[in-house]
A and B are shown apart, each in its own frame.
Chain A
């Protein structure tokens, strides 16, 4: 499967999906005009890949500065998908990388982590810009 690399824009995050290494990342701000059009295709590919894994190591970095409520719904879907991948016998690490000056983002990470049963959810502070 071909790796996906989409540069960040003012309103959409950088998408960096390395299917060979199973290392995935979303970075930046996320409030795209059309959430489904932006995330639909890349998440479709990810779902296909994750569904085919057995005994693999998977890492997903969420390094987001801001996301709107429509993007939050997408994130929730991603977490559930990753949790399921972990339940099927893969070692999944989610890194939630937040700006330490924005405790809203820290709090949201903790909230999302609470509901996940099978992944290792790691909270990390963003490197100072």
Chain B
């Protein structure tokens, strides 16, 4: 039974083209470790340089978003930035000749509208508009409720040569599950 269960999980992931899957608390060390394995796998796959760097780059932005913003965390409600843990799920794989990097995590309901508006905007922009917004954000003030550059999503969109998809799912009164998939 034990082997059946795990083999079933493995096959289910494989059927979706998933090569890497991590569900759990994400830390900078997790990012380093999985990132290294992804680089090595892409080298075996003979992915061209631009694609390989694109996949890696999207992976870094996605995982850092979870580390910084996931609303599911230990201790609940948040603690010291250096020791708290944030939960998310990550998959990296390939379907129909395109690589994908997907991340999902809980967010607070009040953040849904802001994220949705921002991502819908990014989705409709062409490359020239994206690059202009990227530079504006790099120069501008860090938006409220955002650590780091606040340009992670634009960076992902610039590297995602085959586009992005995103979705929200109600979990309870307080939390919504948010997921972003980038194709490279």
Contact = CB atoms under 8 A, between A and B. Distances in A.
Interface residues of A, number: 25
Interface string A15-40: 00000000000000001010100000
Contacts of B135: 76, 111-112, 115
Say whether chain B's binding surface is mostly helix, strand, loop, or mixed: helix
Interface string B118-150: 000000000000010011001100000000110
A37 to B, nearest CB: 11
A10 B32 contact: yes
B155 A76 contact: no
Given A103-B50, A104-B53, A72 B138 contact: yes
B149 A101 contact: no
Residue in A10, A70, A99, A112 whose Cβ sees the most chain B Cβ within 10 Å: A70
A11 B61 CA distance: 14
A104 B155 contact: no
A52 interface: no
Given A11-B32, A101-B50, A103-B50, A69 B148 contact: yes
Given A69-B151, A101-B48, A31 B60 contact: yes
Interface of B: 28, 32, 36, 48-50, 53-54, 56-57, 60-61, 64, 131, 134-135, 138-139, 148-149, 151-152, 154-155, 158-159
